[in-house]
Structure 1
Amino acid sequence: MIFNALRNTLKQCITLIKFIKFTSKEFLNKVYPYKNIIPEKLFEDSIKYFLDNPDNMLEPNAIKKIGIKNIDSKKIITIKHAEVISKWIDRLENTDELKNSYEFNPIFRGSRDGFTAKRFHGVCDDQSRTVAIIRVKDSDEILGGYNPIE
């Protein structure tokens, strides 16, 4: 009963927590004990992430070298993709040096938030400077776009 009240109170905030920024040990010690208040799908996706990425840290040198602050979507894009996207945003050539630093944090993830257009627009409308990245089902093909305005 107490967990239900806490879950209902926190359900809007919990989905904003970047669990994959935790080390697996931090996740085990700081998150796992509260599994009863975390949405089941989010908890399951987090467990799968840590099982698939036991050393869930990006290479710090690669991030520093190309100026990417953060990339939270390693399942679809790599740091190399993030570098190319960042250059497109800045209207640079592929051979130009990256000048700005960007964070890639998903505000919408179909596997987490659902695959309906209504849900997508409910979360993404009125957001500025967004990159949409979509992996074609049963394919390695990635599609996307950048919108600098709301």
Structure 2
Amino acid sequence: MARIWARTNCAFNNSGRGKCQTGNCGGLLLCPKPIRQHGLFDISLVDGFNVPMEFSPTSNGCTRGIKCAQDINTQCPNELRAPGGCHNPCTVFKTDQYCCNSGRCGPTNLSKFFKDWCRDAYSYPKEDQQVLLLA
């Protein structure tokens, strides 16, 4: 699975160093390439939200696209507001309830906020494992 994320309000120098208001990639213009697995794609709000997005498959037998087309920034709870986006709860509160560091966790009031706006997106760190268990 490749990771794709939107970056906003970026400024880089000639050597490719700089920063973005949202979606920063370690201060680099070119992000390190992730390991790719073909045929898999998802949208995750686990790391927060900055811009609406939609993905539509074009091959490999996939017929259903996924999207998070709502502008969550305008509805973001006050405690998660960030310049140009909406933080994830783990970044703000740094607790096991939101970060799932113990290996066990479930949906929270804040992950449910994200899920209500974007049904296709993962909304908390271990949600993908829960989906696999239910499949």
Say which structure, 1 or 2, has more relative contact order (CA 8 Å, 6+ apart): 2
For the pair shown, which has the larger CA radius of gyration, 1 or 2?
1
Task: Considering fraction of residues, name the structure with more strand.
Answer: 2
TM value normalised by structure 2: 0.30
TM value normalised by structure 1: 0.28
